[in-house]
Amino acid sequence: MHYNINFPHLGIHLEHVGKSISVFGFEIAYYGIIIGTAILIGFLIATSEAKRTRQNPEDYLDMGIIGVICGIAGARIYYVAFSWDMYKDNLLEILNLREGGLGIYGGVIAAVITVIICAKVKRLSAPQIFDTIAMALVNGQMLGRWGNFFNREAFGEYTDSLFAMQLPLDAVRSSDVTELMRKNIQVVDGVSYIQVHPTFLYESLWCCAVFILLFVYRKHKKYEGELFLLYLFGYGLGRAWIEGLRTDQLLIPGIGLPVSQVLAGVIVVVTGVMLLYLRKNHKRMPFLTGGKIYEPMPDKPVGKKRPKGKDRLFK
């Protein structure tokens, strides 16, 4: 197997990009290292947001441990469910995560269910929790996509665009190689390369933009849950486009449509409608405002000493 990865139009030629690193004779996949790093940074982001919004960071450590386990399980179940033909004859392979195979939407769905249950048990605000972990989730997706880079997976159809990526033919799964790629195989120094869209890069950059949007807007949100809705809308918008470029799509049985692309489209429509509706009507929903209404203090209170601060809190 050859390990070169090239971006010819950008002048980038990586001579040896392995899939793992050896530590004391034990092979550790870069995919796992990246996922683990993303999880740790996600914890830091969530607990930092919890402190900023005067919540208890320890609640997020507790929920985070459960959420990570459930999220990875959900992401794997989602992937296996729509790739059953790959695993039906070797069920133990389902447990092998070293070669990738996580469906992001499965992880998000599992995370949502986990938050709702934990919020109920701990008597916390689920919408507030969703906002607190929104940036942590998109960070995980932004970093996690680089695991696909090392695994030579999740790439798109043939392209000769500026960001075109060349991968050795013997380093990718044959099922991901299309006829168009085969017709445009390039041979360099005796090695056959396919040239494809680096969709992992597109999605990572898109998630970075969504992360920046959430970071800038978080202090200006109107109600609890708005950041999470913006995350779902923003990520879904990019995924609906990027998924259409990929050659390893998970398809809906009997229909043949890409499940992640369809789901992304549905999420964009639903969250878009919710964002428009709640923008004007969130004040009618106490569970989104914590049951609190802030009103300005009069300039000269009558009969009472003016309290400290610019605002008075009424419940």
Question: Helix/strand/coil (H, E, C) string of 149-161?
Answer: HHHCCCCECECCC
Q: Which segments of 119-245 are extended strands (E)?
A: 165-168, 186-188, 191-196
Residues in the chain: 315
Enter the tokens of residue 223.
């109600």
Q: Which residues pair with 311 in a beta bridge?
A: 296
Amino acid identity for residue 217 in this structure: Y
Is 306 labeled as ligand-binding? Answer: no
> 3-state DSSP: the chain helix, strand, coil percent, rounded to 5?
60, 15, 30
First to last CA, the chain: 67
CA distance linking residue 119 with residue 130, whole number of Å:
10
Q: For residue 237, what are the CA distances in angstroms to 207, 218, 221, 243, 249?
A: 11, 20, 20, 10, 17
Phi-psi region of 47 (alpha: psi -120 to 50; beta: other; left: phi over 0): alpha
Q: Which residues are annotated as a binding site?
A: 145
